[in-house]
A and B are shown apart, each in its own frame.
Chain A
């Protein structure tokens, strides 16, 4: 009997160095929650389900919520074709605790919006596998390994 794949899509996450900065400000418990959330998203056949909201004024910037307090700022690009596969890539920019002090926020200016569009435009990427490797892309299994330790 032939095995039928439920989904031919593969999910990856690319983590910005600044995401690591955000993680380093969190306690172990919150870090674990973030890792678990990223695992859940990447392990899903419908990763878009976990996008909680977009930033008003910039639809390209998305937020994944973890509990009441943690927010993961990201951009999910779906269905990037390569040979017979389709890739979903979650770009993860930053994480921190929700609830901000006035004066600690910055503006998402036009340049940053253009960067977001540039990042998520895969038309110029000839080899997605090479791109993912070059950008240290991680799978659900990567995060599962950290949770199992």
Chain B
């Protein structure tokens, strides 16, 4: 397994990740999960 190469600061501080990841983690903590219908609504195929 390889390591994700992150960071713009190069200082070895907190990992830098896309903002959506943080929001997704928060979603799960607060119980905001995708229902089957909501998932289907975002599909374009």
Which residues on A are within 8 Å of B, measured CB to CB? 14-24, 27-29, 31-32, 35, 51-58, 61, 63, 73, 91-94, 96, 100, 102-110, 112, 115-116, 118-119, 134-136, 138, 142, 146, 149
Q: With a CB–CB cut-off of 8 A, which chain B residues contact A61?
A: 15, 17, 21
Question: Nearest 3 CB-CB pairs, A to B?
Answer: A93-B24, A18-B24, A16-B27
Q: Which secondary structure dominates chain B's binding surface?
A: mixed
Are A16 and B34 in touch, CB under 8 angstroms?
yes
- Interface residues in B8-40 by Cβ distance below 8 A to A read 8, 12-29, 31-36, 38-40
Q: Give the contacting residue for A94; candidates B3, B6, B23; CB below 8 A.
A: B23
Q: Are A15 and B43 in contact (CB under 8 A)?
A: no
**Chain B residues within an 8 Å CB radius of A91:** 28
Task: Decide: A115 and B4 in contact? CB cutoff 8 A.
Answer: no
**What is the predominant secondary structure among interface residues of chain A facing chain B?**
mixed
Rounded to whole angstroms, the CA-CA distance of A110 and B37 in the bound complex is 33
Instruction: State in angstroms the CA–CA spacing of A89 and B12 once bound together.
Output: 30
Q: Is B1's CB under 8 angstroms from A54's CB?
A: yes
Chain A residues with CB under 8 A of B22: 106, 108, 112
Contacting residues, chain B, for A110 (C-beta < 8 A): 14
Are B18 and A16 in contact, CB atoms less than 8 angstroms apart?
A: no
Other-chain residue from B18, B23, B29, B45 in contact with A104 (beta carbon distance below 8 A): B18
Taken together as a complex, chains A and B put the C-alpha atoms of A96 and B42 apart, in Å, by 14
